[in-house]
Amino acid sequence: MSNATTPVELEGKDLPAYCPNPAMPLWSGHPRVFLDFAANGEAKCPYCGTAYRIKPGSAVHHH
């Protein structure tokens, strides 16, 4: 289930982000978990290990 080799890149407008994301196949699902991005703009799903990151230069709006 993991996409650990290539992080899923998100724009600031995609926040708050969650996993599994809408592009993932239904069969690979797990409970939805909202991602907590570190100061470096990266997060990792605690269930499947999929890595996410905010695209460089993307404006992040706090919710």
How does pLDDT run across 21-31, given as a tens digit for each residue? 888 888 778 99
Tens digit of pLDDT for each residue in 19-55?
998 888 887 789 999 999 988 999 999 999 999 999 9
pLDDT of amino acid 16: 93
Boundaries of every domain in the chain:
1-22+32-57
- Euclidean distance between CA atoms 1 and 49, whole angstroms: 8
pLDDT of amino acid 3: 44
pLDDT of amino acid 22: 82
Q: How far is CA 43 from CA 27, 30, 51, in A?
A: 22, 17, 6
What is the value of pTM for the model shown?
0.78
